[in-house]
Amino acid sequence: MNKILVTGGAGFIGANFVHHLMAHTDASVVVLDKLTYAGNEASLADVPAGRMEFVHGAIEDAELVDRLVAGVDAVVHFAAESHNDNSLSNPRPFLDTNIVGTYTILEAVRKHGVRLHHISTDEVYGDLELDDPAKFSETTPYNPSSPYSATKAGSDLLVRAWVRSFGVQATISNCSNNYGPYQHVEKFIPRQITNVIRGVRPKLYGTGENVRDWIHTDDHSSAVLRILERGEIGQTYLIGANGERNNKDVIEDILVLMGQPRDSYDHVSDRPGHDLRYAIDATRLRTELGWEPAYTDFEAGLKATIDWYVANEAWWAPQKDETEAKYAKVGR
């Protein structure tokens, strides 16, 4: 694949994927991004000139998407409204981008016969009890909890329907919680790191017993590239790296790694409908496609992520005050 359209390439995971493509392939990319509050062109500043074209636009713009899709070998579709808390205060953009936007991409790849990889989330499966021995797998029934996860579930089902009804050449992946560089400060790990840098106490929702299955974003990128190159059309792959941790442990790890007392954080009100636990069984990806994560030591990955935020304050500082003002309005 010589030329790849990356939607949402100025966001957290999309930008890391573009960097991964630059380092591990000879492909060139076209990035299509609306530059919402979550998009930042600075995340792509290091991409070699000549290997990337940046297009500022929306995935719901059918004419633009049709023209861009006609000129590429594959589409990797990251663009989304991605934050659960925002979906609780204002769901509408989630419907427009995640549902109508994905529909628009599907119609273009259908027309031009272009390969699509659709990026999705483990949240489509709902949540697990803390003591449930089961993990999410490709056969777990969909049961989303939030407006965000419901729209991602809807987008996955559209992709499946376009594969079956129209023979679209698509694969889907559902990944667990990512961490790493270039993540917006609204998300859990960067919010706490940047709070500590600013001398503000980290904020833990509720009791903090909620479990997330953390994966380094570069491992997500390597899995997506593997599926793009070797995945079976029509198939869904779960991506995870056995990184289950509860939020309380993560916040305490961050404090200790940043030289603070482990209990110097605040409990704030819980997120309504807060999913309790996510856990991924990535057996299919590992056995059928031979994928393995490179980041198996969470503390080491977290330390590197802290170092990145300490060194890149100019990247995140412009987003910080506005983000905290949004949280203050809902008491979190």
Cite the active site residues. Answer: 122-123, 148
Q: Which of 17, 78, 182, 188 binds ligand DAU (CB under 6 A)?
A: 188
Q: Which is nearer to ligand NAD, 182 or 265 (CB)?
A: 182
Residue 205, interface with ligand DAU (CB under 6 A)? yes
Residue 194, interface with ligand DAU (CB under 6 A)? no
Q: Which of 99, 116, 119, 225 binds ligand NAD (CB under 6 A)?
A: 119
36's contact among ligand NAD, ligand DAU, none, with CB below 5 to 8 A by partner kind, is: ligand NAD
Residue 98, interface with ligand DAU (CB under 6 A)? no
- CA atoms within 13 Å, Cβ hemisphere of 298: 20
Q: Which is nearer to ligand NAD, 101 or 231 (CB)?
A: 101
How many residues bind ligand DAU, per CB under 6 A? 19
Cα gap 110→166, rounded to integer Å: 7
Residue 117, interface with ligand DAU (CB under 6 A)? no
SS3 245: strand
10's contact among ligand DAU, ligand NAD, none, with CB below 5 to 8 A by partner kind, is: ligand NAD
Q: Which of 5, 6, 12, 241 binds ligand NAD (CB under 6 A)?
A: 12
Q: Which is nearer to ligand DAU, 118 or 187 (CB)?
A: 187
Give start and end residues of each alpha helix (H) in 147-246: 147-166, 188-198, 217-230
Cα gap 316→161, rounded to integer Å: 39
Residue 203, interface with ligand DAU (CB under 6 A)? yes
User: In angstroms, what CA-CA distances link 122 with 13, 165, 238, 282, 286?
Assistant: 15, 25, 8, 11, 17
SS3 86: helix
Query: What does 54-70 look like in DSSP terms, one character per residue?
Result: EEE--TT-HHHHHHHHH
Q: And the tokens for 119?
A: 């990026």
Residue 309, interface with ligand NAD (CB under 6 A)? no
